[in-house]
Structure 1
Amino acid sequence: MGWLSWFCLLFLLSTTCQFNSTCSSANSSSSLSSGHLCHPEDSSALLQFKNSFSIDTSSKRELYNGTILFSNRTISWQKGKDCCAWSGVTCEKMTGRVISLNLLFGGLQGNIHSNSSLFSLGHLKRLDLSSNDFRGSPIPSKFGGFVSMTHLDLSYSNFSGPIPSEISHLSTLVSLNLSQATVTLDTLSLSRIVQNLTNLRELNLDNVDMSLVVPDSFKNMSSSLKTLELSRCNLQGKFPESIFHRPNLRLVDLGYNYDLTGYFPESNWSSPLEMLDLSHTRISVDWHHLTRNLKSLRDLSLSNCSFVGSYLACLGNLTQIMRLDLSFNSFGGHIPWSLFLNLESLVYLNLAYNNFVGQFPEVDSNSTSNSSLYDFSKQPLVGPIPRHLTKLILYENQLNGTIPSWLGSLPSLEELYLSSNQLSSNIIEFQSRSLSVLGLSDNKLDGLIPRSIFELESLHYLDLSSNQLSGNIIEFQSRSLSWLELRNNKLHGLIPRSIFELENLHYLDLSSNQLRGNIIEFQSRSLSGLYLSDNKLDGLIPRSIFELEKVTDLDLSSNNLSGTVKFGPKLQSLRELNLSSNHPSLSFNHLSNNTWPQLRSLDLSSCNISEFPYFLRAAPNLDTLSLSHNRIQANIPKWLLDLGKDSLGYLDLSHNSLTGTVGPLRWKNLYYLDLRNNSLQGELPIPSPSTSYIFISNNQFTGEIPPTICSLSSLQILDLSYNKLSGKIHQCIENFSKSLSVLNLRNNKFHGVIPGTFSEGNVLRNLDLNGNQLEGSLPQSLLTCRELEVLDLGNNKIQDTFPNWLEYLPKLQVLILRSNKFSGEICFPKTKFPFQKLHIIDLSHNRFSGLLPTKYFENLTAMINSQEHGLKYMGGRYYQDTVVVTIKGFEIEMKKILTYFTIIDFSNNTFRGEISSVISKLKSLKGLNFSHNELTGRIPPSFGEMSNLEWLDLSSNKLVGDIPEQLVNMTSLSKFNVSKNQLVGPIPRGNQFDTFENDSYSGNTGFCGLPLSKTCSAPHQSPPSSFQQEDDLEHGNGFDWKVVLMGYASGVVIGISVGYLVLSNGTPNWLVKVVARKKRRRIMKITK
């Protein structure tokens, strides 16, 4: 309950006590003088008033701890009994006329009409009809006829329409409360109220729509005014400064009027103001004047008032302050903890959502000078905080270090929020018996959860999520725990039984941990949010979960749960259901007699489903549906295409075996469509213009792309790859220039030229047109694609010279031009630092000629600097970039591209000249292929410095000389091919060179030495042979396997891809040969 609600509650209690006191006095008078009973006209009027409504006899209001505050009042109103003794009725002693009527929370339901008998109670001075239900009826103008009225409260009783100007006739009114969100007030009516109600001391118009009121209308308010509450009223414009100078003003609440402007007084003046709320307004406040002039302040809320800097030192002047809220500002620097030494009455402190930095101060218990900071029994402070503090809110700052132990010793602490900071180390022990709310989420806390937290008997809210906590969750002592959030940690073990037995549990999130075991039956019937995903839970899903009448969000995904999911009639409140990625035996009943009007999101992906769930028909308001990665083998049914026409926004049916054509897509608000990896055919379906993400790859759609695609002005990702689409690519790409980031048309049958309609300011990041029949030259409008990271135009019929103008694209990382008709020499760069972020370049299978572009190699920064410490995949939330490259002789599609994966493939061209040693500077290079060119000269010895290189192919050139011994240092090398050159001399031995077979060297008649059968005639100094290494190993001569393992470890990325090939295509021949040769060597050695 917010502070203002508590304030109002206290006010109501106070008012009620006054009512009851007067009532008791009147009743005593009646008992003493039987001649002064309730006036019969008033008694009759009250009974008629009661009978004009239906009464909610169960109406009551409870505090959060279960204490009943008020209940139905009119149950004692019975004909023939003295109405002065009725609940809520107070009479004048001498006349018996009703002068006060309190029906707060009276359970009244119905309309109040202008002829209601209520208005015949002409002697009424106090009337409270708040918190009833008058069914949206207007406030009758007859309320202005109570000429003796001093207190009128019609708040939160479901009135509607304008506040009648006749209210201004109540000239004796002292207190007026009309707060509720369904009534309005205009400038004229307000001006009359301000002008005529000269005795008004309390005015509460919270939530009244005053968007048409000129705030200056308040400037003539009564000088007697003590309380002014105008929060959430849509006030706009400048608020009169003079209001704050009212001599008796005690409380001002203008909060949440976002467009209210003005100035808080800055001159030297004193004010008795005790409560001030300017939160979420644009009223300008001079911090120094405020703290100097308002020394009586007990409650100050300046949340979201655009404060910047560090002004907190001035708070020391507010010695009476009890409640302080400065959240949602831009205060920075260190929190001046010493200022709290003077704030001994402080019980509530909220500094959340600021930019405070630094650490909590520690208290040296051995220092006598700080004795007041740790002597809890005699001093008002615990640490730098008053010992009476009940609420401390510091979340969303930049506090670091550890949580100080003195925080756990605050004896009155009820609520502590330190979430979303950078706090580290262990959580402290908490000693406060009154602690009910503890929020420490989104920090860097580690270790075990302290036992003292599980023993907090008053705890009803606990959030320790998104830390690095480990260990088991033990049994909770608190029986009132209603909110428990421990997600994103490293907790393991079983879920304790006490959690399932919590009867008041409202929200439970234990997701993304390592919890195991079964889920047992829940005792709570008030559970609304249940999240147990991403654990190791198994067993049957308990029946009680599907009988939770109030559950709105249920996520049990990514576990190993089994059994039959029985959607019963009690899940009427369910909004989100996620059962994806569980045990294959999980099944679903197909009840059709239940409706799910509240169901918005359903995820049953990876649930081994073989047909479309029939119960989906009963969920007409779905906005998210995922049935991906199942075994559904059917056409998409018509009823599914009609499901959620006005609501469905996200649809994922990918990775099934769907067949047939797709009918018209009529979803008006669809933004995400995923049909990839099915067997759908026919004409390409085009969704509504609101769609942003379309994934229809790996199907069998044919024909041209319908022109209606040009209407998708919000399109961000379009992936139509691996279909049988044909025709030309539409010129309307320009329509998407402000939104389209990915265009993937790979492996279709598109022909013609690449559209040249890329416009300035486009956000295209990935353009993949590989594997089509595109012709012509590259459009230079690609230069406008300043965000482009991936350009893949391979396997087309493009005729052009090398597009060196692409070096102007600052973010280009992948360039694939392979298997086209590019020709000519690659000239010198046009810029000083070309292609700095490029880490994959494939120009293979073209007609390039001339010398290798050494000047470009010198500036490939992404290949020079090793980036393996930053494992990051290219792409975004909905799309991972892919590329097809030749790796160690295998053509492999990489489903994800690591930013440090670097290759150069210039093979199958007519490059000539020598290989420059500059290439050896590319330290992070993984693969280099210069094969099938006309290169001459020697292999640079500096290649031995390329320790990360995993494959090197220089075959089918005209290289001469020997293989440099330095290449033995390439410990990551697993594929080496220099065949069909003019190389001579001994083959180096040692490290990876002991694994290469004959085909790595074939076609070079001058080679000798293993693995060839030709022996070298002259002695040659070389590293120890593999025979000797094996012999040394057996005799303990210290062969260091670290060298070999380092090479294999650095090739882990390639290993994943090759591993896939091994599984799908069988063991590669080269690997079989390596193993066989090793075995052969051992046999030779034994026979010797």
Structure 2
Amino acid sequence: MRIFTKLSAPLCLLFVFLCLKTAFSSSIHASSLSTAHRCSHEEALALLQFKTSFSINYTVPYSYYWGENYSKIESWKEGIDCCSWDGVSCDNVTGHVIALNLSCSFLYGTFPSNSTLFLLRNLQSLNLALNDFRLSKIPSEISQFTRLKHLDVSDSGFSGQVPREIAYLPKLVSLNLSDWYDSSDLILETTTLRNLVHNLSEVRELVLSGVNMTSVNPRFFMNLSSSLTTLDLFESVLRGNFPNSIFRFPNLKIFSLSGYFGERNLTIDLPSSNWSNPLQDLYLSVMDCGRRLPESIGDLKSLQFLSLQCNLEGSIPASIGNLRQLTYLSLSNNQFSGYLYSNNLSEQIPSSLANLTQLTFLALSNIQFSGPILASIGNLRQLTSLDLYSNNLSGQIPSSLANLTQLTSLALSYNQFSGPIPASIGNLRQLTSLDLNSNNLGGQIPLSLANLTQLIDLDLSNNQFSGPIPTSIEGCGLQNLNLHGNQMDGLLPRSLVNCSKLEVLDVGNNSIEDTFPHWLESLPDLQVLVLRSNKFHGIVQSTKESPSFPKLRVLDLSSNDFRGPLPVQYIENFKAMMDPHGEDGSPKYMKVMGADPYQYSLVVTWKGFDYELQGILTVFSCIHLSNNMFDRKIPDVIGNLSSLKGLNLSHNNLTGNIPPSLGNLTNLEWLDLSSNGLTGKIPDELVSLTQLSVLNLSNNHLVGCIPQGNQFNTFGNGSYEGNLELCGIPLSKSCDGIGTPPSSFQEKDELWRFGWRVVVLGYGCGVVFGLLMGYLVFRTRKPKWFVSLFDGRPSQSGRKMRKARRLVQRRS
């Protein structure tokens, strides 16, 4: 579980601001139009015909996320001067339409190459950003706008090659082709870029983030106009060596460059001197930037935003304290050694860092710093986000953190902190997100946490906290509470019922002794409930006539002392588990409002091993009731839970037949019914489970032939051992009384021992790979956020930087 930060005001307000900013920057207001001049009938007709080319779809995600709630073209009516229409601006003298801003307008449909829009020959500014043109090509007819100065088609659903004609717009000053949401749909080839750079002698702003430029040689960018102020090449799939002379462009204010996630095929050397003094925003990520961060970085006195994630080594220079205008600093995911130190190697955070009085965001995660957090960090009193995730920091958490009264997000997880949480943490009244996951912290959870009334995300998992869970959480606004892997005891506090917004409750791997908390039914948004490996006991049942966990999708009660029948009352009311498509038909990650999608984590048991999934998809459902004393039959109603990905009922006292209704669980990826008292045949209906990658029916009393076909042809002996009356492949016992030929047995056994990894990769349906790859690989390329659990955990700072870049991209 990670802690994520709001980078500014609430996200929804930021979105509104950005849309309004785009509108103001790309158009001249119609209110300035002289009443003596109306737009021509021809231009009005052209706009009305353009309007009919599209439908208005208020589910277009781009417009919705950026805060608009209406479409500008709704105001376009025949008989009304088009210069008064929303998004339309006209020349004060001639009345010609000179600017069209249709950003965030919920336009939906294919963009026609013969669009009447191209009849507006006097157009100087065109903004079509944040609509959905359904993977249309950018029409080559765009060259007809010979007076165009500003063109923005970012995040508008265009695809394919950028037309070469775009390089023949002689007056173009700003060009934005960025593709944040569906990276690499747009392709910019070498010839088009070369012509664009050669012909656009006046260009000042060039934004190509997310555009596929695999074939482009980075040296072409050096021929850009010296008047360039903005060059944004974030995740543009560039390869090769980018000349560092870009840092000496005399007017450059914003420069963003990053390679493709998972690759290191892009390099740039940071200059030792003569930087561009106007530089305000510098973002370099997923690339190599030379070996060291030069002292000359301190010469960039205008710098406000600095993010460098590119394998830098050595020390962080003390000159960084000269950057008095800096508000955002991230040096995460480098290879800096030892402490933060100044030139005298004093093993201290440089005293010059205290000069950064405007700093609001500081991320130094995943650098392997060691030693304590020094008290001087408390001098950075404007900080709203502090991210020191995944280092080797040790000692106690300093009480000087209490000085950071503006802090909204604090991430200290995956370090070596010890001792108690200081009671002074209760002074951080603005805190919404606190992540102390995976340290050696102990003692009782301080009661002062009750002062954090804004807290919505609390992760204290995998520490050594003891004692009861404080009842002072009462009245909380928490959406996520993770206390997994501690030594908490006592009862589960009934005050949790007051946390009406709670979505995830994980108290697994503690020593809590209680009966099943049926009173949690009243939490309307609870989606994940993990009580595993505690001392819960008794029958799992509701006290209500109509029991309901309306949104519950993950239930883990494993390794307790629950007994009696499986909870049919609840199972038949798990409505969310009956919808394989989620509430809106598309897979998304659960997250706290305004946060990134790795906000929640979940430990799942797969083939006897625990794996932590970073991020919980809204289409992921599983039930884990193993290692209890449940008895009687497996209820048929489980077959209605069509969204289930995993079902584990192993190590109980279940009896009777395996219900054929389990064959309806067509999304099931792992099924474990082992170590029970199940009898009868394996239902042939289970062959229809084509997503199944793990099956364990061992140690029961099953009889008859093992079904064949689909995934059943991939399961080895281990799936069936301990059922003495089973026969057929892959077992050596033949169903006709004749032994299975040794070669067949050996091949099947070899498939189990070796080929089963291939099966998981090939079918893409194992828990680890399926959850992390299958649901979000909407396109053929590997998603930029992807990292396998076996390769380590993804950096939260990297994800924050990507979100921050959206602000930087639009801010100019």
Settle same-fold status: TM greater than 0.5.
yes
Kept in 1, the 8 Å contact 2:124–2:150? The answer is: yes
Determine whether 1:430 maps to 2:130.
no
**Counterpart contact for 1:521–1:543, Cα < 8 Å:** no
1:513 match = 211
Alignment of 1:1031-1070 (within 5 A): 1048=763, 1051=766, 1054-1055=769-770
CA contact (8 A) 2:550 2:576 kept: yes
- For the residue of structure 1 that corresponds to 2:682, the secondary structure is coil
Instruction: Determine which of 418, 436, 442 is the counterpart of 2:102.
Output: 418
Equivalent of residue 733 in structure 1, options 449, 468, 493: 449
Rounded to whole Å, the distance in 1 between the matches of 2:763 and 2:788 is: 17
Distance in structure 2 (CA, Å) of the matches to 1:1045 and 1:698: 30
8 A Cα contact 2:362 2:386, kept in partner: yes
Across the two proteins, how many residue pairs are aligned to each other?
673
Evaluate the alpha carbon distance shift between residue 642 and residue 816 of structure 1 in structure 2; reply closer, same or farther with a 3 A threshold.
Answer: farther
1:667 aligned to 2:383? no
Look up the equivalent residue of 1:619 and give its one-letter code: L
- SS at 1:819 equivalent: coil
- 2:405 is paired with a residue whose SS is coil
**For residues 642 and 822 of structure 1, do their structure 2 counterparts lie closer, same or farther at Cα, with a shift above 3 Å needed?**
farther
Are 2:602 and 1:886 equivalent residues in the alignment?
A: no
CA contact (8 A) 1:441 1:467 kept: yes
Aligned-pair distance for 1:697?
A: 0.7
Matches of 2:267 and 2:424, distance apart in 1 = 45
Query: Is 1:619 aligned with 2:323?
Result: yes
Which runs of structure 2 are paired with 1:112-511 in the superposition (5 Å)?
301=31, 320=36, 322=38, 394-395=86-87, 412-423=96-107, 424=109, 425-426=111-112, 428=115, 430=118, 434-445=122-133, 446-454=135-143, 456-469=145-158, 470-474=160-164, 476-488=167-179, 490-494=186-190, 495-499=193-197, 502-511=200-209
- Partners in 2 of 1:478 and 1:1006 — Cα distance? 79
Q: Does the 8 A contact of 2:167 with 2:200 survive in 1?
A: no
CA distance in 2, matches of 1:461, 1:912: 70
- Cα separation, 2, equivalents of 1:593 and 1:900: 46
Give the aligned partner of residue 856 of structure 1. 570
Deviation of the 1:774 alpha carbon: 0.5
Q: Between the two structures, name the one with larger relative contact order (CA 8 Å, sep ≥ 6).
A: 2
Distance 1:735 1:500, change over 3 A: farther
Is the Cα–Cα contact under 8 Å of residues 579 and 607 in structure 1 kept in the other structure? no
| Secondary structure of 1:414 counterpart | strand
Do 2:768 and 2:789's aligned partners in 1 also have CA atoms closer than 8 Å?
no
- Show the 5 A alignment for 1:550-629: 550-558=251-259, 560-566=265-271, 568-569=273-274, 571-582=276-287, 584=288, 586-587=290-291, 590-592=294-296, 595-613=299-317, 615-629=319-333
Where does residue 415 of structure 2 map in the other structure?
699
- Give the secondary structure class of the aligned counterpart of 1:834: coil
Q: Deviations over 1:488-532 (max 9, x none)?
A: 261321323443564432222121211232243245333222212
Q: CA deviation at 1:1000?
A: 2.2
Q: 1:933 aligns with which of 645, 652, 664?
A: 652
Q: Classify the secondary structure of the residue corresponding to 1:702.
A: strand
Give 2:167's aligned amino acid.
Answer: F
Asked whether the 8 Å contact 2:126–2:150 carries over to 1, the reply is yes
Deviation of the 1:974 alpha carbon:
2.4
Question: Aligned-pair distance for 1:1062?
Answer: 7.6
What letter matches 1:426 in structure 2? P
Equivalent residue for 2:368?
A: 657
Deviation (angstroms), 1:432: 5.5
Among 692, 697, 718, the alignment partner of 2:434 is: 718
SS state at 1:476 partner: helix
Cα deviation for residue 1009 of structure 1 reads: 3.0
Say whether the 8 Å CA contact 2:645–2:667 is kept in structure 1.
yes
Give the deviation of 1:337 after TM superposition: 12
Q: State the Cα distance separating 1:935 from its structure 2 match.
A: 1.5
Q: Give the aligned partner of residue 8 of structure 2.
A: none
Q: TM-score, normalised by structure 1?
A: 0.57
Aligned partners of 1:480 and 1:504 also within 8 Å: yes
Q: Which residue of 1 aligns with 2:22?
A: none
Cα deviation, 1:473-492, whole Å, max 9, x if unaligned, reads 52634443222222226132
What's the CA shift for 1:803?
0.4
SS in 1 for 2:424: helix
Question: 1:323 and 1:640 mapped to 2: Cα distance?
Answer: 62
Q: Is the 8 A contact 1:743 1:768 kept in 2?
A: yes
Distance 1:670 1:1045, change over 3 A: closer
Q: CA deviation at 1:927?
A: 1.3
Q: How does 1:724-803 map to 2 (within 5 A)?
A: 724-737=440-453, 739-760=454-475, 762-803=476-517
* Partner Cα distance (1:709, 1:805) in 2: 31
Q: Secondary structure at the match of 2:703?
A: strand
CA offset at residue 767 of structure 1? Answer: 0.5
Counterpart Cα distance in 2 of 1:465 and 1:602? 24
Structure 1 631/863 Cα, relative in aligned 2: closer, same or farther at 3 Å? same
* Cα offset, 1:612, TM superposition: 1.7
Contact 1:473 / 1:491 at 8 angstroms: preserved in 2?
A: no
For 1:360 and 1:471, the matched residues in 2 are separated by: 32
Aligned equivalent of 1:708: 424
Counterpart Cα distance in 2 of 1:970 and 1:505: 57
Q: Evaluate the alpha carbon distance shift between residue 859 and residue 542 of structure 1 in structure 2; reply closer, same or farther with a 3 A threshold.
A: same
Indicate the SS of the match to 1:923: coil
Match among 500, 504, 528 for residue 814 of structure 1? 528
* Counterpart residue type for residue 625 of structure 1: L
AA of the residue aligned to 1:527:
L
**Ranges in structure 1 where 5+ consecutive residues have no aligned partner:** 1-298, 304-317, 325-333, 339-351, 362-382, 398-409, 1020-1025, 1031-1043, 1065-1088
* Deviations 1:301-353, CA, capped at 9 Å, x for gaps: 499xxxxxxxxxxxxxx9856599xxxxxxxxx98999xxxxxxxxxxxxx99
Conservation of the 8 A alpha-carbon contact between 2:541 and 2:569: no
Q: Distance in 1 between matches of 2:48 and 2:705?
A: 73
Instruction: Please tell me whether residue 1000 in structure 1 is matched to residue 705 in structure 2.
Output: no
- Which letter does structure 1 place at the counterpart of 2:361? Y
TM-score w.r.t. the length of structure 2 is: 0.75
Are the equivalent residues in 2 in contact too, given 1:443–1:466 (CA < 8 A)?
yes
What is the aligned partner in structure 2 of residue 29 from structure 1? none
Task: State the Cα distance separating 1:1016 from its structure 2 match.
Answer: 3.4
Letter aligned with residue 546 of structure 2: K
- Whether contact under 8 Å (2:71, 2:106) holds in the other structure is no
2-structure distance, mates of 1:323, 1:969: 64
C-alpha distance in structure 1 between counterparts of 2:294 and 2:359, whole Å: 22
Identity of aligned residues (%): 38
Distance 2:203 2:291 in 1: 28
Deviates more, 1:500-509 or 1:677-686: 500-509
- The one-letter code matched in structure 2 to 1:667 is L
Alignment partners' CA distance in 1, 2:127 and 2:788: 45
Instruction: Give secondary structure in 1 for the equivalent of 2:654.
Output: strand
| Structure 2 residue 335 is matched with structure 1 residue 631 | yes
1:863: how far off?
A: 1.2
After superposition, what is the alpha-carbon deviation per residue over 1:117-141, rounded to whole angstroms, capped at 9, x for unaligned? Answer: xxxxxxxxxxxxxxxxxxxxxxxxx
SS in 2 for 1:579: strand
Change (3 A) 1:419 1:965: closer
Q: Which amino acid aligns with 1:894?
A: L
Q: Distance in 2 between matches of 1:1018 and 1:963?
A: 19
Cα displacement string for residues 560-585 of structure 1 (whole angstroms, at most 9, x for unaligned residues): 54232216445222211111222x35
Question: Does the 8 Å contact 1:541/1:565 carry over to 2?
Answer: no
Deviations 1:949-1002 (A, max 9, x none): 222222222222232233233232222222222333333333323332223222
Q: By how many angstroms is 1:783 displaced?
A: 0.6
* Alignment correspondent of 1:921: 640
Q: Which has the larger radius of gyration?
A: 1
Change in CA separation of 1:678 and 1:925 when aligned onto 2, cut-off 3 Å:
same
The CA deviation at 1:758 is 2.1
**Secondary structure in 1 matching 2:407:** coil
Alignment-derived partner of residue 693 in structure 2:
974
CA distance in 2, matches of 1:843, 1:593: 54
Is residue 534 from structure 1 mapped to residue 238 from structure 2 by the alignment? no
